Amino acid sequence: MTMTGFQTLLRKEILRFWKVAFQTVAAPVLTALLYMMIFSHVMSGSGAAFSGVTYEQFLIPGLAMMSMLQNAFANTSSSLIQSKITGNILFILLPPLSHWDYYGAYLVAAVIRAIAVGLGVFLVGIFVAHIPVHNIAVIIAFAVLGSGMLAALGIIAGLWADKFDQLAAFQNFLIMPLTFLSGVFYSIHSLPPFWQGLSHLNPFFYMIDGFRYGFFGKSDVSLALSLSITAASFFCLSAATLYLLKSGYKLRQ
């Protein structure tokens, strides 16, 4: 069966991370496990963020979402910067693919990697604590929208960066702070009022809070607010990504 250009590029992107799954999937799961072991031990005596929810239960969905976001970003950004630096981006640009094909293939592959990592974190997490499931549709919606948002942001970063250190700066000074300060390890209600207000400006907070709601039926802010901000962020970044891909920004130089 003859594959379309979109299917070929998607297959290429999936194989790119799957052939080194020990590094791209297993390693992030191990990192999340280490966070889980350390924070569940250090914070085990602290009060639960939600009534009837232990700290270990509270922590695992946050770690899973954080891992998914970081790996969705890493998948698209690393693919583009490697292709640009090695020069094989020409073999991707030569076929008659539309900007929708590029966007769709990179985004879907990144979401698949992110979900694989998230499932790995949960498979490890069930040995630490029982994780209830309140609403599977909410869980899937936030997993896909959050991963898609970071995949789109990764495409933008990969197009913008000309060197690996520029991409590293983008990740270290934007992605890492936003994920770590999004309520992964704590409820924002435990923060002073100023930091609570600042946390509400972080779109990553709404992704993680809404994702947690899917498991516990409880959250720091309303589900409708989290879903609307996450969806709006995803569509805005997708529109910006499609515009850059259509214009050939830093691709046709």
Per-residue model confidence as pLDDT tens digits over 61-115 = 999 999 999 999 999 999 999 999 888 888 888 888 899 999 999 999 999 999 9
pLDDT at residue 191 above 90? no
Q: What is the pLDDT of residue 2?
A: 56
pLDDT of residue 70: 94
pLDDT number for residue 27: 95
The whole-angstrom separation of Cα 16 and Cα 174 is 25
Residue 125 has pLDDT above 60, yes or no: yes
Predicted confidence (pLDDT) at residue 56 exceeds the cutoff of 90: no
Q: How far apart are CA 43 and CA 61, in angstroms?
A: 16
Each residue's pLDDT tens digit, 5-37: 899 999 999 999 999 999 999 999 999 999 888
Give the tens place of pLDDT for each residue, 136-147: 999 999 999 999
Continuous segment of H or E residues that includes residue 245: helix 223-247
Mean pLDDT of 211-216: 94
Give residue 188's pLDDT band: very low, low, confident or very high (50, 70, 90). confident
pLDDT top residue among 214 and 195: 214
The overall pTM is greater than 0.85: yes
**What pLDDT, on the 0 to 100 scale, is given for residue 44?**
62
pLDDT at 96: 86
Which own/partner contact pairs does 232-237 have at CB distance under 8 Å and 24+ positions apart? 233/149, 233/203, 234/145, 234/146, 234/148, 234/149, 234/152, 237/149, 237/152, 237/153, 237/156
Residue 159: pLDDT band with limits 50, 70, 90: very high
State residue 48's pLDDT score: 59
Confidence at residue 19, expressed as pLDDT on a 0 to 100 scale: 94
Q: What does pLDDT average to over the chain?
A: 90
**46 pLDDT higher than 70:** no
H/E stretch holding 33 reads helix 27-42
Task: Report CA dihedral (197, 203, 209, 212) to the nearest 10 degrees.
Answer: -160
